[in-house]
Amino acid sequence: MKSKVYLFDPVIYPFKLLVSKDFNSKELIDAFYCVDENEELAEASQEFAPRRRTIARTIQVADKKECQTYMMVLLCRPQVCGQGTITHESYHVVNIIADWLGFLPKSANEDEPGAYLIQWVSNCIDCVKRGHPEWMKGELYGNDTDSTESV
């Protein structure tokens, strides 16, 4: 895969994060299914081919070879992607994970797990945007036999 997609592992949560600012939509369509709201696998090519004005996008995906699911953040226009957009996409990731794991806060004093996860996701996205995924232990994701190689 020529697209540079980086894999991050939050260790304490049962999901992995993929982030890319240098991707080819056709390669992503060939490598991943989209996972819809009903947890169904779908060929949703428009999800990987963002509109011209789209700055970033968050998608739940499954690898077509391993059927392993991931949260994927695509920085479609990284040159105009600021901290607000990074936080926005991080919030999408956290809401999906929090809903899945059942830790959506019912009050302000129950929001610490989500706050820490937003911080971690934001840092991963920011490091990819800056060109230093290794700062958050990001590894280059690939569709070969071992799935990853070090940055």
DSSP state of 65: T
Distance CA 47, CA 100 (A): 21
Judge contact between 91 and 109, C-beta under 8 A: no
List Cβ neighbours of 123 (8 Å cut-off, separation of 6 or more): 135, 136
CB atoms within 10 A of CB 132: 12
pLDDT value of residue 114: 87
pLDDT value of residue 44: 60
pLDDT value of residue 149: 41
pLDDT value of residue 34: 87
Structure tokens at 26: 């056709």
Distance CA 138, CA 148 (A): 10
CB atoms within 10 A of CB 38: 6
Distance CA 22, CA 75 (A): 8
pLDDT value of residue 151: 40
pLDDT value of residue 107: 79
**pTM attached to this predicted model:** 0.88
Reading the chain (151 residues) residue by residue, the pLDDT tens digits are 789 999 999 999 889 999 999 998 899 989 999 887 767 777 766 777 777 889 999 999 999 998 799 999 999 999 999 999 999 999 999 999 988 888 877 778 878 888 999 999 999 999 999 999 999 999 999 845 344 444 4
